[in-house]
Amino acid sequence: MHKVSHENAAPTDPENYSESLLDSGYRCAEAVLLTVARQHKIESPLIPAIATGFCSGMSQTSGMCGAVSGGILGLNLVYGRSRADESAGKNFAAVQRLVAEFKTAFGATGCSELLGCDLGTPEGKQTFRENKLHVQCREYTRVATRLAVSLGDEADE
């Protein structure tokens, strides 16, 4: 974990901050990870690059929602292990809560299930555009951000 003082203050409204990152061109997993990292003043040249392949349902393969994946990556920054002899218990518990609460909110965690289309196909991409499904992705990103920040903040308590 690379904790350093970040020149940008922690976001005062993480959900809106992640949404503004989406508006500026970042994708779901990147936006959530960046927000959690900044919330905890964690900076690394690997952020947001390590999240890119998780965007759009694991690179448009119908995998887990990128916003959830970004939240998991963010929780790994806060609770992840630095040594093999450390417990993964707090990390696993936080990730399990994130996934369960997201699933309770939306009924699924898979990108295709959430959007009702497969972003890996031309038809799915067309459905995404025509139905303006990016609006749903914004909500998934906001909720995943809220959950990850909240669960990560418990580490500071």
Q: What is the pLDDT of residues 78-114, one digit of tens each?
A: 999 999 999 999 999 999 999 999 999 999 999 999 9
DSSP for residue 9 = P
Nearest to 65, CA basis, from 137, 151, 157, 156: 137
As given in the structure block, the two tokens for residue 4 are 């350093």
Q: What pLDDT score does 11 carry?
A: 78
Q: What pLDDT score does 1 carry?
A: 39
pTM for this structure?
0.91
Report residues of the chain scoring pLDDT below 50. 1-7
Q: What pLDDT score does 60 carry?
A: 97
